[in-house]
Structure 1
């Protein structure tokens, strides 16, 4: 036979949740890390607290009981998630990018830019290395914006033909 829960118990618990709910939600957010998970965590903790409501002797101990229920629930969830990762004797092969490729590419680009005529070098360095606008580059070099555009286009065309830059990186694929 199911135990009959007195109506006063519901009213007292509902009043407690209404009064302390926002503070308890803030605590849950600090434990869970985001609002959605915190709301679920708080709901679970409040259910556990409701079933223990008669055993909580002091009204001042209620917040502590709810906080402890949230902490224990969160720890249980972490343990459950940890079990989703299964140890294995064989490590699966993973494709990884060779980190030295980036520095090798930077060196190759620097060598290719150094082969360009001085005006193209200056235009490319100002436009792309220093991230200047075409108008700024034109002002700095004392030329028109159209000259900057055409100089950049010619320089990029030469870089595209550079055999040192044409090689694709080998990513282990």
Structure 2
């Protein structure tokens, strides 16, 4: 079959999916905070990429395109869940923490952040993206990324306690 046919395109997508699935999953895990949600988010992202594979494969940086789809899918699902939750529950005070004396883990602390702030922290510090790139991915200003990350990090520091408790000795 000549190059550029649907079968070649499918093989290209399969190769891309195999090569990028683990990285997408790691980012998804940090965003979702659990394995099931991360698997679902990764699969949803790959399904969306497959639907638009011609556009993705023509992009200069398909990995960046995939990360953008992953992040935006995560945020859209969170907004949808929040709308559903607010439609079916009455707002009340949050329950007190069960074990206030125990320090929370990083994933639990990340889960306390709003979805958009969590996405910014994960993309900025875990995926090591620049402020400009994160701003473009999330369609906001660089100043928003800086201020949201600053607030989110301050909240994480408060939740996790003193930095020296978690530092490893060399």
Q: TM-score range by the shorter chain?
A: 0.3 to 0.5
- Structure number with greater Rg is 1
TM-score (norm 2): 0.45
TM-score (norm 1): 0.45
